[in-house]
Amino acid sequence: MAETTTRTVERDGVRLAVDVGGEGPLVLLAHGFPELAYSWRRQVPALIDAGYSVAVPDQRGYGRSDRPGAVEAYDIEQLTADLVAILDDLDRERAVVVGHDWGSIVAWQMPLLHPDRVVATVGMSVPFLPRGPMPTVELMRQMFADGFFYIVYFQDEGVADAELAADPARTMRRFLAGPKPNEFTDAERVTLVAKGDAGFTDRLPEPRAGLPDWLSQAELDHYVAEFTRTGFTGGLNWYRNLDRNWHLTEAQAGAHITCPTMFLTGSLDPVASFASVEPGLAFLDDHRGNVVIEGAGHWVQQERPEEVNAALLEFLYDVTERKIP
């Protein structure tokens, strides 16, 4: 990654590859599924140039980092403890934690589980979701009992793993470069949610006219090469801990996040169809606003980096004043 060096941070025998660079207040960037530290390639130079230091891990289960075999090795306590270990390794007390997709879930939990280590939190694509009335996947099974929902499909060990890994180029092309929800045909919308034996990638349409402007073939090839090497099980195991996470966070039921927060998303992000921002706002005591980038999809920081970087830097200037040690 440009302007960074890679260091290895080890916690409880799990080694994490972390790209670090810059000087000044620390921004910790947490990627989602199926992504890599590489997903922040368009934020890192902007942050460093603006006077910030960055720490960008391939999170456990991904890329250059270790992939523990046990499903429970990917619960929210482990994922947040990894970020704390990175801070410790860098001899930093606190950081602004920025997450996208699954990384957002980790970012939102950091000020609840480790409040003394967080200056502020930014979630992208996935808003803060208050603890539900029952375990998460159990609730989803009820909500989507009459159709297909990818998170429920991901629960059975080995099933989605095999489907996604059978053709990583097809998987990553459809995940990253396929049409946005507003571009789906009626038949594609039905296929995505219909009951049946088809897997998730099978239900995703191919790109309409080659790759989008924001994703080059070389960039797509980087993702394909990494997931061909590692498979997808590590990332899928994050989903397999959703119910476990619900039980582990019982003490956080009703808890408020008191540090400054911001939520950023694309207007065409499909996550909004099942994860509304509204319920969580009452639990964000110093929320600095929601930024919606018109026309952007789920991979917002890659797709619209200039607008994402501008919003992120405005928030960072406001909450850090470049005084974090």
- The pLDDT score that the predictor gives to residue 18 is 98
Instruction: Find residue 97's DSSP bridge partners.
Output: 28, 121
pLDDT above 90 coverage of the chain, percent:
96
- Kindly state whether residue 305 falls inside one of the protein's structural domains: yes
- The pLDDT score that the predictor gives to residue 306 is 98
Mean pLDDT of 227-235: 98
Q: Identify the band that residue 321 occupies on the pLDDT scale cut at 50, 70 and 90.
A: confident
Catalytic residue among 82, 161, 269, 298: 298
- Structural domain boundaries, residue 236: 5-320
Strands of 118-124's sheet, edge to edge? 5-11, 14-21, 53-57, 26-30, 95-100, 118-124, 257-266, 284-293
State the Cα–Cα distance between residues 96 and 84, nearest whole angstrom. 12
Q: Which CA distances in Å does 254 have to 3, 145, 249, 250?
A: 41, 28, 10, 9
Can you give the CATH number for the domain in which 269 is found? 3.40.50.1820
Count Cβ atoms within 10 A of the Cβ of residue 255 and give its class: 0-12 exposed, 13-18 middle, 19 or more buried. Answer: middle
- The pLDDT score that the predictor gives to residue 1 is 56
Annotated catalytic, 100?
no
State the Cα–Cα distance between residues 292 and 276, nearest whole angstrom. 13
- The pLDDT score that the predictor gives to residue 325 is 40
- Kindly state whether residue 325 falls inside one of the protein's structural domains: no
Q: Identify the band that residue 324 occupies on the pLDDT scale cut at 50, 70 and 90.
A: very low
- The pLDDT score that the predictor gives to residue 322 is 60
Catalytic residue among 66, 101, 161, 269: 101
Mean pLDDT of 234-260: 97
- Kindly state whether residue 175 falls inside one of the protein's structural domains: yes
pTM for the complete prediction? 0.96
- Kindly state whether residue 204 falls inside one of the protein's structural domains: yes
- The pLDDT score that the predictor gives to residue 157 is 97
- Kindly state whether residue 63 falls inside one of the protein's structural domains: yes
- The pLDDT score that the predictor gives to residue 209 is 87
Domains in the chain, number: 1
Q: pLDDT per residue over 51-68, tens digit each?
A: 999 999 999 999 999 999
Q: pLDDT per residue over 181-195, tens digit each?
A: 899 999 999 999 999
Q: pLDDT per residue over 266-296, tens digit each?
A: 999 999 999 999 999 999 999 999 999 999 9
Annotated catalytic, 298?
yes
Mean pLDDT of 296-314: 97
State the Cα–Cα distance between residues 251 and 248, nearest whole angstrom. 8
State the Cα–Cα distance between residues 216 and 175, nearest whole angstrom. 14
- Kindly state whether residue 162 falls inside one of the protein's structural domains: yes
Whether the pLDDT of residue 125 is over 60: the answer is yes
